Amino acid sequence: MQILVEPVLSHAKAQAGRHLNELNDFVHFPSISADPKHSVDLKNCAMWLAGHLRRIGLENVNIVPTQRHPIVFAEWQHAPGKPTVLIYGHYDVQPVDPISEWLSSPFEPAVRGQDLYGRGASDDKGQMFCHVKALEAYLRTTGRLPVNVKCLFEGEEEIGSPNLGPFLARNKDTLAADVAVISDTRILAPNRPAITYSLRGALSLELEVRGPEHDLHSGSFGGAVHNPLQALCEIIAGLHDATGRVTIPAFYDRVRPQSAEERGYMARVGPTNGQILSAAQVQMGWGEHGYTLYERTTMRPALTVNGIFGGYQGPGPKAIIPAKAKAKMNFRLVCDQDPHETNRLFRRHIARIAPPTLRTAVRTHFAAKPALINRQHPTTRIAAIAYEKGFGAMPVFIRSGGTIPAAGLFQDVLAVPTVLMGFALPDDRMHAPNEKFHLPNFFNGIATSIWFLTEVANAGRRNQQEVRMSSAAA
Amino acid sequence: MQILVEPVLSHAKAQAGRHLNELNDFVHFPSISADPKHSVDLKNCAMWLAGHLRRIGLENVNIVPTQRHPIVFAEWQHAPGKPTVLIYGHYDVQPVDPISEWLSSPFEPAVRGQDLYGRGASDDKGQMFCHVKALEAYLRTTGRLPVNVKCLFEGEEEIGSPNLGPFLARNKDTLAADVAVISDTRILAPNRPAITYSLRGALSLELEVRGPEHDLHSGSFGGAVHNPLQALCEIIAGLHDATGRVTIPAFYDRVRPQSAEERGYMARVGPTNGQILSAAQVQMGWGEHGYTLYERTTMRPALTVNGIFGGYQGPGPKAIIPAKAKAKMNFRLVCDQDPHETNRLFRRHIARIAPPTLRTAVRTHFAAKPALINRQHPTTRIAAIAYEKGFGAMPVFIRSGGTIPAAGLFQDVLAVPTVLMGFALPDDRMHAPNEKFHLPNFFNGIATSIWFLTEVANAGRRNQQEVRMSSAAA
């Protein structure tokens, strides 16, 4: 049976206005997974999403509770003999601080120019919605999908997907698929699509330093008592050396060295130092000597301090030695580092360097493994064709410095080949104030997803066997 | 005329319950001078205080507006030929954070055991109220005071008394006095009164480090962009060396060396290391090698970090490189350091060590000079007699690590000899949660003030000339 894709694409094009309105509704939910006081918003967002999936014609739609935020599952299984595509996305978003820097309210989505502004617009509501609208366009015009589809949309990606692994392990059969697609990454520019083949892992921690039982008067005790804030600064300052390397012993031991060929390819297709600085809006780079900025952010691990708090933060002065100080920290890890091992190395190091004048405590927020995708897999070729048709340009292959726990878990637990097909731009401000989604990418993303489903079906017809065999070997 | 002091003391004793209730009312005002949103509370507190001074019989009561918080002035000038005593205090208080650590609300004063708990209970509402109640006791029982009195109660001490110097300069004649008394310091124990003869100066600053224009995703940019929080930590960590000394060039140049005799006296009468650690509730000391903890906190300068803020401080993780980070810092300076010079040295040092990857900015909150009181002045002997009668023990002479801008200004601008007659205890938690005032010290403080006024009058009769001449030479 020949698949007629033009009516599907035309339908999606004609419905662009409605699609944008629906994305607005989706972004409207303040589904901040890190903040317990938003639990109800995540539930409401999951219910809205489940209702939406039901309305467009998906079946077996389920809201699966977890220890924190629910997983939304849906499927369509009426294409016997065709491959099954597992579509992953996350409906949770990052916190919005500093709120004062938003030009429009983060949960009152606003279109300015060709961009939709709002928390989650690109990370990941907008990107996952490309697939939802592609499925809808197919179902509305042809009454069916060209392949079998399973949707898995979680609400805990931004807190490290703590309940996704156990969910996958419990539901291996239900989730069995020939290929998984995740759209939660970047392309280089609106006309330069990209398939991501490498993700960094992550380890999020909190380090606390405790000193006196209560805040002390800095006049009475200044000079005689070790200040927890100062000690925290001393510890953090000592975690990097003058060449930008992390000083934790054995930290780099498992970092996989990259070949000259690989580094050459990265230099040819990846962003230049100038492009990375321009996306970050900073004048100068920083970091580990001997590597380009693209290498530092993708094939080399990194340690960043995400927040420090301690002592007085109100207006004016307050002359105290605070009782305690805390820092939130985030490691980005590369193959073959293991976040659980890094966690142990960090804790051992802190215990060794902590001054005897104070007490320290480490709390682990989450750990996710790095992931490396096999670029030679046929799925990748299919994704490339879809991009070429959806964006009018062949994609390049890039590494991402970010982390998607699902990518590693799909490999490890489901053994399903995964393709990272992103639609966000480097300056979409994921995690930052004024996050946006470039609307041409939204519409091209929908078209790309339509082509992807189509080409998987075509490839399935041509060489079902090839896809399945590669999948089994992955 | 012989002064009959016993009825005055008896009156004060009989009225102890009412005095405590009135102190409760006084502490009830949340007069936090650092926080602009409490401006009205400072105004209300000043009005309450002025009304109270009028009611007890003081005259010419004035609420003098300044650029921020008003000064309350009152006087009683009907003792011709007698010396004039200038009584200084401050009705403003420190901020209350961390509010969660208070066992009772900071502005709902509560008596537990022999202590009154509340912000400002000892610093300085309770201590200054000792003098107010002493004046009242005299006026109610004898209808007059044994000396001429001027009261100067300001609302900006905790923010460095920015408007006190100009006020003193404009009102030199109105404020002319033979002796000034300030009760805003500590004694060693309820039965070990102390006269403070040395105060440290202070310099309060805010250091800001700015990096990217907005927060960045730590996955995308971690490892390639200098983190303002990390840079702030590096700067702060570098401000002390391994021997606990401040590393700012020329910082110690003007620090007055102390003689072996002086250090010997301090070792004999001052608190031991153990007592200071016990008051701070910490196990181990810290700081500049070669000095006792008492010396480190009084005759040596110190630099403390009072608060750091930057990045994400909410619950859970947030993987960002923050756009900026700030630290509040406080120097304590000793004779003959000049806070304005230290300010210049700090700014020059920061400009020199700041990394080229980031921008820094320094904001000065306040600067106050250190003060050294002449222990040989006759006023000191009078204060010692008053303490002996009020507390039943001769006072020792101690240095304080704290700062009272008024003390330096009284010397510099008014040229009036000043005595620092404190009633607070080392564990009264000035500036910290659960600040308290030991009630026996409140009542003994009132008696001590009654005796001080009496003895100044007696000394004035005996050797008016001596006091006046010393005053002129101070």
- Mean pLDDT, range B146-159, rounded to an integer: 97
Encode A306-326: b = buried (16+ Cβ within 10 Å), e = exposed.
bbbbbbbbbebbbbbbbbbbb
- Six-digit token string for A166: 């156990």
Q: Of B36, B293, B356, which is closest to A315 when you measure between CB atoms?
A: B36
- pLDDT, tens digit, for every residue of A41-53? 999 999 999 999 9
Alpha carbon of B174 to those of B74, B77, B265: distances in Å?
11, 11, 38
Residue A467 distance to chain B (closest CA, Å): 31
Domain for residue B467, yes or no?
Answer: yes
Give pLDDT, residue B95: 93
- Mean pLDDT, range A90-108, rounded to an integer: 95
CATH number for the domain harbouring residue B114:
3.40.630.10
Q: Are residues B24 and B86 in the same domain?
A: yes
Domain for residue B468, yes or no?
Answer: yes
Domain residues for A221? 201-255+301-367
Q: Provide the pLDDT confidence category of residue B463 given band limits of 50, 70 and 90.
A: low
Q: Are residues B188 and B46 in the same domain?
A: yes
Give pLDDT, residue B121: 98
- pLDDT, tens digit, for every residue of B215-247? 999 999 999 999 999 999 999 999 999 999 999
- Percent of chain A at pLDDT above 90? 90
- pLDDT, tens digit, for every residue of B333-370? 999 999 999 999 999 999 999 999 999 999 999 999 99
Cis peptide bond N-terminal to A173, omega within 30: no
Give pLDDT, residue A28: 98
Q: Are residues A163 and A48 in the same domain?
A: yes
Contact B471, B178 (CB under 8 A): yes
The yes-or-no verdict on residue B474 having pLDDT over 50 is: no
Tell me how far apart the alpha carbons of residues B445 and B129 are, in angstroms, rounded to a whole number.
Answer: 9
The yes-or-no verdict on residue A55 having pLDDT over 90 is: yes
- Cβ of A216: how many Cβ atoms within 10 Å? 28
Q: Is B67 helix (H, G, I), strand (E, B) or coil?
A: coil
Residue B373 distance to chain A (closest CA, Å): 18
Q: Are residues A385 and A246 in the same domain?
A: no
- pLDDT, tens digit, for every residue of A165-219? 999 999 999 999 999 999 999 999 999 999 999 999 999 999 999 999 989 999 9
Q: Which of B368, B385, B406 represents a domain boundary (last residue)?
A: B368
Q: Provide the pLDDT confidence category of residue A316 given band limits of 50, 70 and 90.
A: confident
Give pLDDT, residue A318: 87
Give pLDDT, residue B473: 38
Tell me the HSE value of A132 on the side-chain side, using a 13 A CA sphere.
29
The yes-or-no verdict on residue A472 having pLDDT over 70 is: no
- pLDDT, tens digit, for every residue of B26-59? 999 999 999 999 999 999 999 999 999 999 999 9
Q: A314 vs B217: CB contact, 8 Å cut-off?
A: no
Give pLDDT, residue B461: 59
Encode B199-211: b = buried (16+ Cβ within 10 Å), e = exposed.
bbbbbbbbbbbbb
Mean pLDDT of chain B: 94
Q: Which of A325, A346, A367 represents a domain boundary (last residue)?
A: A367
Count of structural domains, chain A: 2
Tell me how far apart the alpha carbons of residues A199 and A334 are, in angstroms, rounded to a whole number.
Answer: 8
Q: What angle do CA B247, B250, B253 make, to 5 degrees?
A: 120
Choose from B209, B245, B278, B308 for mutation: most chain A CBs within 10 A: B308
* AA letter at A27: V
DSSP state of B394: P
Q: Of A214, A219, A432, which is closest to B434 when you measure between CB atoms?
A: A214
Domain for residue A292, yes or no?
Answer: no
Domain for residue A268, yes or no?
Answer: no
Domain for residue B19, yes or no?
Answer: yes
- Mean pLDDT, range B73-81, rounded to an integer: 97
Q: Taking the CA atoms of B174, B180, B186 and B187 in sequence, report the sign of the dihedral they define.
A: negative
Q: A238 vs B237: CB contact, 8 Å cut-off?
A: yes
The yes-or-no verdict on residue B469 having pLDDT over 70 is: no
- Mean pLDDT, range A425-450, rounded to an integer: 95
Q: Are residues B192 and B216 in the same domain?
A: no
Q: Are residues A175 and A100 in the same domain?
A: yes
CATH number for the domain harbouring residue B224:
3.30.70.360
Contact B472, B95 (CB under 8 A): no
Q: Strands B84-90, B148-154: parallel, antiparallel or unpaired by DSSP?
A: parallel
Residue B12 distance to chain A (closest CA, Å): 31
- Cβ of A435: how many Cβ atoms within 10 Å? 28
Domain for residue B281, yes or no?
Answer: no
Q: Phi/psi at A186 (nearest 5 deg)?
A: -105, 155
Domain for residue A241, yes or no?
Answer: yes
Domain for residue B290, yes or no?
Answer: no
Residue A281 distance to chain B (closest CA, Å): 6
Q: Are residues A120 and A27 in the same domain?
A: yes
Q: Are residues B364 and B375 in the same domain?
A: no
Q: Are residues B144 and B208 in the same domain?
A: no
Tell me how far apart the alpha carbons of residues B378 and B179 are, in angstroms, rounded to a whole number.
Answer: 10
Contact A373, A407 (CB under 8 A): yes
Residue A235 distance to chain B (closest CA, Å): 8
Tell me how far apart the alpha carbons of residues B68 and B89 are, in angstroms, rounded to a whole number.
Answer: 17
Q: Provide the pLDDT confidence category of residue B317 given band limits of 50, 70 and 90.
A: confident
Q: Are residues B424 and B333 in the same domain?
A: no
Spatial CA neighbour of B447 closest among B147, B112, B163, B138? B138
B233 neighbourhood in chain A, CB within 8 Å: 232-234, 236-237, 305, 308
- pLDDT, tens digit, for every residue of B428-449? 999 889 999 999 999 999 999 9
Tell me how far apart the alpha carbons of residues A75 and A85 are, in angstroms, rounded to a whole number.
Answer: 10
Total-model pTM:
0.88
Q: Which residue has the higher pLDDT, A474 or B357?
A: B357
Q: Of B206, B211, B320, which is closest to A432 when you measure between CB atoms?
A: B320
Give pLDDT, residue B462: 55
- Mean pLDDT, range B454-469, rounded to an integer: 68
The yes-or-no verdict on residue B381 having pLDDT over 90 is: yes
B101 neighbourhood in chain A, CB within 8 Å: 214, 323
Contact A406, A94 (CB under 8 A): no
Q: Which of B368, B390, B425 represents a domain boundary (last residue)?
A: B368
Q: Are residues A36 and A150 in the same domain?
A: yes
Q: A218 vs B365: CB contact, 8 Å cut-off?
A: no
- Mean pLDDT, range A328-343, rounded to an integer: 97
Q: Of A309, A315, A332, which is closest to B34 when you measure between CB atoms?
A: A315
Cα diameter, chain B: 85
Beta-bridge partner residues of B196:
B398, B420
The yes-or-no verdict on residue B470 having pLDDT over 50 is: no
Q: Are residues A395 and A331 in the same domain?
A: no
Q: Of B215, B237, B357, which is closest to A233 when you measure between CB atoms?
A: B237
* Tokens 């003959």, residue located: B336
The yes-or-no verdict on residue A461 having pLDDT over 70 is: no
Spatial CA neighbour of A296 closest among A339, A227, A240, A232? A240
Alpha carbon of A341 to those of A302, A304, A346, A406: distances in Å?
15, 18, 9, 20
